[in-house]
Amino acid sequence: MNIILLGPPGAGKGTQAARLQAERGMVQLSTGDMLRAAVAKETPVGLQAKAVMDAGELVSDAIVSALIGEHLDCIGDRGAIFDGYPRTQAQAEALDLLLAERGRHLDHVIELVVDEDELVRRICGRFTCANCGAPYHDEFKRPKVDGVCDVCGSTEFKRRPDDNEATVRTRMAEYRAKTAPILPYYQQRNLVRPVDGMAPVNEVAASIDAILDS
Ligand code: AP5
């Protein structure tokens, strides 16, 4: 099974993709994570992408589609969860080609339907353990002992440079202008499954599971 998780920044794509990967043996393919890894390693792609990401704008279609192609070649016959890709019409068309070349097809496009003001709160409060990557939130999920990671005991935490209100608003605007308009491309193929992304995480998970098991 190959699925897309579609929704604006902070809609919960990464949260649900990581869960599906852990529970179903599918593979999370997050272009955001791939790009952040490239930035951290200072690869040519990373050097090109950093300023664009810090501004909350979209990296070029050619770069992200090439990254997805490379990763698709490494996942064997496991299902793919596309997290944050595609984000433009050109990427949606590129994905169809990448899948067809590998004898795959899309099963569902899960649209996480959310309220934008709530998303700013979600995003601006999140942080992760700098050592193991465990996710936390200033309001919704603080470490049990302040300043100490519940999972590995590290005392180092980090926040994404693009998780500030001004950049989040730009990322939302990019979503409205370039990503939301690809929904009809999938609606006409009857692939879009809307899910209430404002519900608690476990309820969102149950709605997605019901779709995948239907
Ligand atoms: P990317 O990393 O993809 O970021 P994004 O789409 O902005 O999404 P986020 O990771 O911010 O949010 P999410 O939906 O995964 O939510 P999460 O689960 O973390 O992209 C970053 C940048 O890379 C882009 O701006 C662009 O520059 C570039 N890029 C990436 N892909 C690209 C592409 N295809 N083309 C061009 N450029 C690209 O949840 C957020 C928070 O909410 C967390 O704290 C979480 O715990 C919490 N939460 C989640 N669900 C719930 C819930 N149901 N209730 C309460 N809290 C919840």
Pocket of ligand 1 (CB under 6 A): 7, 9-15, 31-32, 35, 52-53, 56-59, 64, 84-85, 87, 91, 122-123, 126, 135, 137, 140, 162, 171, 200-201, 204
| Alpha-carbon torsion angle 17, 23, 155, 124, nearest 10 | 30
pLDDT digits over 89-105, tens only? 999 999 999 999 999 99
Q: What is the DSSP letter of 58?
A: P
**Catalytic residues, which ones?**
13, 87, 126, 160, 171
Mean pLDDT score, 37-54: 94
Whole-number Å distance, alpha carbon 136 to ligand 1 midpoint, is: 14
In this structure, the residue with its CA closest to atom 21 of ligand 1 is 32
pLDDT at 116: 86
Nearest-angstrom CA–CA distance, 165 and 124: 7
Please give the sequence-ordered ranges of beta strands (E in DSSP) within the chain, or none if there are none. Answer: 2-6, 27-30, 80-83, 108-113, 126-129, 135-137, 157-158, 192-196
Specify the ligand 1 atom closest to the Cα of 91. Answer: 34
In this structure, the residue with its CA closest to atom 1 of ligand 1 is 32
Nearest-angstrom CA–CA distance, 116 and 179: 15
Mean pLDDT score, 69-87: 96
Nearest-angstrom CA–CA distance, 191 and 48: 34
- pLDDT of residue 140 exceeding 90, the answer is no
- Total residues found in the chain within this entry: 214
Which comes out higher in pLDDT, residue 156 or 121?
156
pLDDT at 37: 95
Nearest-angstrom CA–CA distance, 153 and 159: 18
Bridge partners (DSSP) of residue 128 are: 135, 158
Asked whether 203 and 164 are in contact (CB, 8 A), the reply is: no
pLDDT at 117: 84
pLDDT digits over 9-28, tens only? 999 999 999 999 999 999 99
Mean pLDDT score, 144-153: 97
Q: What percent of the chain has pLDDT over 70?
A: 100
User: Which pLDDT band holds residue 134 (cuts at 50, 70, 90)?
Assistant: very high
In this structure, the residue with its CA closest to atom 7 of ligand 1 is 9
Whole-number Å distance, alpha carbon 32 to ligand 1 midpoint, is: 8
In this structure, the residue with its CA closest to atom 25 of ligand 1 is 56
- pLDDT of residue 59 exceeding 90, the answer is yes
Tell me how many helices (H) and strands (E) the chain has: 9, 8
Amino acid at 131: N
Q: How many CA atoms lie within 13 A of 123 on its CB side?
A: 27
- Write down the pTM of the prediction: 0.94
pLDDT at 62: 95
